[in-house]
Homo-oligomer: A and B are copies of this chain.
Amino acid sequence: MLRTAMIILFGVFIRYNEESDAHWIEHRKAKNISSDIENDFYFRYPSFQDVHVMIFVGFGFLMTFLKRYSFGAVGFNFLIAAFGLQWALLMQGWFHSLDYTDGKIKIGIENLINADFCVAGCLIAYGAVLGKVSPVQLLVLTLFGITLFAVEEYIILNLIHARDAGGSMVIHTFGGYYGLAISWMLYRPNLDQSSRLQGSVYHSDVFAMIGTLFLWMFWPSFNSAITDHGDGQHRAAINTYLALASTVLTTMAVSSLFQKHGKLDMVHIQNSTLAGGVAVGTAAEFMLMPYGSLIVGFCCGIVSTLGYIYLTPFMEKHLKIQDTCGIHNLHAMPGVIGGIVGAITAAAATESVYGPEGLINTFDFVGDFKDMVPTQQGGHQAAGICVAICFGVGGGIIVGCILRLPIWGDPADDNCFDDEHFCSLKQERQYQVTTQSFIPQEW
């Protein structure tokens, strides 16, 4: 039983760190910390809760737009995330917070945030295969996804020493290409058989707006959740706030330009408006400057919206990649842009802008890396992008092969995008009774 294994692993490895352990009081006195308020909990908890909302309500409801798959979207999102964050605590713990003195993983609020981030990578991948895979396949996708994520994150952040506070590379680029590669391996030529279910209805689109808005509003917390205390978190929040605001305007402008009669397309409003948050992820903690954030948001809004109009149909027709939620436009491309922006901003950093100490703190030029200079850092950032793409594509192809094994009970083509295949909708039958009797009250 999976649960039992998880419990044993937690029992063997996972303990509280000194800020969440009852010995905190002694620790405080030893470190002479003047007040309980300096416990890391109070620096990060509000951001953690916002990230938590993004993972479960944001991602969950963003995918409810399908008229008959709202439960599948929210429910399986719930399942993946709940399973993934436990596995992520273990995998990331082994790589990042293993205490070599006693071989235990010491967890605190920051580990919970990182676990949520790790899960986000897999939820992005879920967006590409939404409605076309079985719950078991999702668990397999998540199990391998989390593992790959932890390794890739370790390489990018610790070995290459790239900075990636908002995870443009680590989370979005990796998650995006991981999902697209899987979707490519699981190509269904006859998917149009269930196309009658692939659209949305009025209310399912309004539900999707709940997801969009919670992701949009809380993105500043996402990008500032694990940045440096003080100015780091402050600056990351401001940059993200501005980039997102800028994206909304650009998206609506482009969307109405390319629709006949200048109407707005809800798909663009639901998705492309978020691209700015992805693209500012890496550079959010740097001195990107407010106008820099606006420029990033501006470009991403254009790229992402045009992606929905031209690229997604092209990929489906010619590259045999069926991307249900269009994650390539919302996560993969903006993620790569974010990585590039981060590399440029890092390479352009100067002591006059950051101040001597600010430069060291922001880029963490300490320990083995204390002789690094911003230009070098820029190169390392660029290397990070490549690693993320390779892990995404490579890992996705391998996992895709595994998922093609006929043992996972994936749905037939004409059962795709249909809740009834996995959720027993008791009320449906009862409902049909009632429709005859008094349809108006139905609403």
Contact = CB atoms under 8 A, between A and B. Distances in A.
A260 B52 CA distance: 33
A359 B20 CA distance: 14
B249 A82 contact: yes
Interface stretch (A201-209, A313-321, A366-374, A392-400): A201-209
A35 interface: yes
A22 B362 contact: yes
A443 interface: yes
Interface residues of A, number: 140
Task: Count this chain's copies in the assembly.
Answer: 3
A291 interface: yes
Contact of A74 (B37, B50, B209, B235): B209
A263 B46 contact: no
A70 B25 contact: no
Main secondary structure of the interface of A (DSSP, over half): helix
Given A229-B37, A250-B3, A427-B202, A290 B107 contact: yes
A234 B10 contact: no
Interface in A259-297: 259-261, 263-267, 269, 273, 287, 289-291, 294-295
A217 B213 CA distance: 17
Interface in A83-139: 83, 85-86, 107-109, 112, 135
Considering residues A11, A233, A234, A441, which has the most beta carbons from chain B within 10 angstroms of its beta carbon?
A234
Interface string A51-92: 011001100100010011011001100110011011000000
Interface string A6-27: 1110110011100111111110
Contacts of A85: 241, 245
A384 to B, nearest CB: 21
Contacts of A217: 49, 52-53, 56-57
A201 B28 CA distance: 54
A19 B294 CA distance: 21
A440 interface: yes
Given A21-B231, A46-B45, A71-B206, A86 B245 contact: yes
A76 B46 CA distance: 29
Contact of A22 (B49, B108, B197, B354): B354
B252 A443 contact: no
Interface stretch (A158-166, A182-190, A328-336, A418-426): A418-426
Interface in A324-374: 353-355, 357-359, 361-362
Interface stretch (A143-151, A168-176, A375-383, A431-439): A431-439
Contacts of A269: 75, 78
A210 interface: yes
Interface of A: 2-3, 6-8, 10-11, 14-16, 19-26, 28, 34-43, 45-47, 49-50, 52-53, 56-57, 60, 64, 67-68, 70-71, 74-75, 78-79, 82-83, 85-86, 107-109, 112, 135, 196-197, 199-203, 205-207, 209-210, 213-214, 216-218, 220-221, 229-231, 233-235, 237-238, 241-242, 244-246, 248-250, 252-253, 256, 259-261, 263-267, 269, 273, 287, 289-291, 294-295, 298, 353-355, 357-359, 361-362, 420, 422-428, 430-435, 437, 439-443
27 contacts: A6-B294, A7-B294, A7-B295, A8-B291, A14-B291, A22-B355, A22-B362, A24-B230, A34-B34, A35-B35, A35-B38, A37-B42, A37-B43, A45-B47, A56-B216, A57-B217, A60-B213, A70-B202, A79-B252, A82-B248, A82-B249, A86-B245, A109-B237, A112-B238, A135-B252, A201-B442, A210-B210
